[in-house]
A = this chain, B = another copy of it.
Amino acid sequence: MLINLKVRNLLVAAATLVVLPVAAQQNAPADSTIIRKIYDNALTSYDSYNNLRFLTKNIGGRLAGSPQAAAAVEWSRQVMDTMGLDRVYVQEVMVPHWVRGDKEVGQIYNSKERGAVEVPICALGGSVGTGKQGLSAEVVEVKSFEELEKLGKKNVKGKIVFFNRPFDNTLIYTMDAYSGAVDQRGGGPVAAAKLGAVGVIVRSMASELQDVPHTGGTRYKEDVTKIPAAAISTNGAELLSSLLKNDPKLKFHMRMTCETLPDVKSYNVIGEIKGSEKPDEIIVVGGHLDSWDLAEGAHDDGTGCVQSIEVLRLIKDLGIKPKRTIRAVMFMNEENGLRGGTKYAELAKQNNETHVAAIESDAGGFTPRGFEVEGTDAQLAKVAAWKPLLAPYGLRDFGHGHGGADIGPLKGQKNVTLIGYMPDSQRYFDYHHTPIDVFENVNRREMQLGAAGMASLVYLISQHGL
């Protein structure tokens, strides 16, 4: 690309002068000016990016209950302690403590039990282990729970069930493809165990053909035998599927030493700027501090955490005195329990707090697309009324959708509006829950545009309510 025009500069400049509708009536020019300042500051600052570097590189994977999760709690408290906030505190919460153990082994043996092909697998979070000897069994491949049911006990008993329904890549938003496949990971082990299976292999929740397996939580039921469950890389799934076609009696060997230890004490970490006029009306902005153990947890959800801290930094640095109280919340244990989000909502109710809005960033640090409102048409309309102020910065999509897992338990409390920050989704499931969800795959500008968008919305709500 050789040359270019300056047309867009003018467009953005013009947008700051635009006549604004509805919710932005009170003091429109000031709002657009302040939002411009928020972006100017965010796009030229490296604070948040350096925070992400520390969290991912110096602390790393931080599954709830792990020493790294404890380090992340202490780190985020220290970071916010230095920011001159009105209050920094923690909320104690007991969290599950699952450990992966040795690196998992996955091998395909042909039916003559000669040779073995290694394939990349990893235990699903919460899975029981196989014992040190591992587990070998024939494999039955299915694409759906219906197919599994049809096979019935006689075809499933004593075997490993291989759930191999891929992402529907024709869907534009990869979150939808994930939604259409993730039931296999969550519900596979129970469904398979009910029919007498001895193990489960699930095709990784990934958009592309890759060698890296994607971990993620699975669920057991107390009255159903807990069988070991692993994710296999998408390339591994393709290989296993093609080998099965020619050799249906092949055997799969899996070895996992993962186990669940007793619950551990951990914390949500909260930083707060008190509202100057309506301190009892609270706006939450947050992400989850825990990540899977295999990952650095950069996009999931390091970026959501440092963006939330960045919202407070931007408000402070620009000398904004918000009318309502703003809280950045680092939730603990989103990935395998949601104990932090649940505890936060419990305490909010117990303390009779009023939450005006809760905004979560847990879809990666990618370039902004918009905000999703999990609520009524009226709630969406109020948020979307600010679109003219935010669209010049790439926030064009306002619709009904998902707020966020951690803020979900707040639903129904005194008309709180749940809002999900939605970045572009295309790359998310290349990295999600894998060792390649690393700092290097986060772009500073993309992440900061998100932080500035979140700060702008928080600012607008803090001044005008919702």
Residues of A within 8 A of B (CB): 1-9, 11-12, 39-40, 43-44, 169-176, 178-180, 182, 207-208, 217, 300-301, 334-335, 338, 362-364, 367, 369, 372, 392-394, 396-397, 399-402, 405, 424, 426-428, 430, 432, 443-446, 449
A424 to B446 Cα, complex, angstroms: 10
A396 in contact with B396 (CB, 8 Å): yes
Chain B residues with Cβ under 8 A from A170's Cβ? 39-40, 43-44
The answer, among B4, B5, B171, for a CB contact under 8 Å with A9, is B171
**Known A-B contacts A427-B443, A444-B208, A445-B207; A4 and B169 likewise in contact (beta carbons under 8 Å):** no
A207 to B346 Cα, complex, angstroms: 44
A393 to B427 Cα, complex, angstroms: 16
A392 in contact with B426 (CB, 8 Å): no
Chain B residues with Cβ under 8 A from A169's Cβ? 43-44, 445
A335 in contact with B9 (CB, 8 Å): no
Chain B residues with Cβ under 8 A from A394's Cβ? 172, 369
Chain B residues with Cβ under 8 A from A369's Cβ? 394
A426 in contact with B449 (CB, 8 Å): yes
| Known interface pairs A6-B180, A208-B444, A426-B445; 4 further A-B residue pairs with C-beta atoms within 8 A, sorted by A's residue number | A5-B179, A12-B172, A208-B445, A427-B446
A2 in contact with B335 (CB, 8 Å): yes
* Cβ contacts A to B, 5 pairs, < 8 Å: A3-B402, A7-B372, A8-B171, A12-B173, A426-B443
B8 in contact with A176 (CB, 8 Å): yes
**Known A-B contacts A5-B179, A180-B6; A172 and B426 likewise in contact (beta carbons under 8 Å):** no
B176 in contact with A424 (CB, 8 Å): no
Residue on B with the closest CB to A44? B169
Least CB distance, A342 to chain B, in whole angstroms: 13
A392 to B367 Cα, complex, angstroms: 17
A393 to B208 Cα, complex, angstroms: 19
A367 in contact with B424 (CB, 8 Å): yes
A8 to B170 Cα, complex, angstroms: 13
B445 in contact with A300 (CB, 8 Å): no
Residue on B with the closest CB to A364? B1
Least CB distance, A365 to chain B, in whole angstroms: 11
A401 in contact with B176 (CB, 8 Å): no
Chain B residues with Cβ under 8 A from A217's Cβ? 2
Least CB distance, A332 to chain B, in whole angstroms: 14
Chain B residues with Cβ under 8 A from A446's Cβ? 426-427
Chain B residues with Cβ under 8 A from A180's Cβ? 6
Residue on B with the closest CB to A299? B1
Least CB distance, A47 to chain B, in whole angstroms: 14
Least CB distance, A340 to chain B, in whole angstroms: 12
Residue on B with the closest CB to A300? B1
B4 in contact with A175 (CB, 8 Å): yes
Least CB distance, A28 to chain B, in whole angstroms: 20
Least CB distance, A34 to chain B, in whole angstroms: 14
Least CB distance, A88 to chain B, in whole angstroms: 26
A446 to B369 Cα, complex, angstroms: 14
A446 to B208 Cα, complex, angstroms: 12
A3 to B9 Cα, complex, angstroms: 38
A172 to B182 Cα, complex, angstroms: 35
B44 in contact with A401 (CB, 8 Å): no
A177 to B335 Cα, complex, angstroms: 39
**Known A-B contacts A424-B424, A426-B443, A446-B426; A5 and B402 likewise in contact (beta carbons under 8 Å):** yes
**Known A-B contacts A426-B443, A430-B443; A401 and B363 likewise in contact (beta carbons under 8 Å):** no
A6 in contact with B426 (CB, 8 Å): no
**Known A-B contacts A396-B396, A399-B11, A443-B426; A6 and B179 likewise in contact (beta carbons under 8 Å):** yes
Residue on B with the closest CB to A362? B1
A1 in contact with B172 (CB, 8 Å): no
A176 to B3 Cα, complex, angstroms: 10
**Known A-B contacts A1-B300, A1-B301, A443-B427; A449 and B40 likewise in contact (beta carbons under 8 Å):** no
A4 in contact with B443 (CB, 8 Å): no
Chain B residues with Cβ under 8 A from A363's Cβ? 1
B400 in contact with A39 (CB, 8 Å): no
The answer, among B4, B367, B428, for a CB contact under 8 Å with A176, is B4
Residue on B with the closest CB to A401? B7
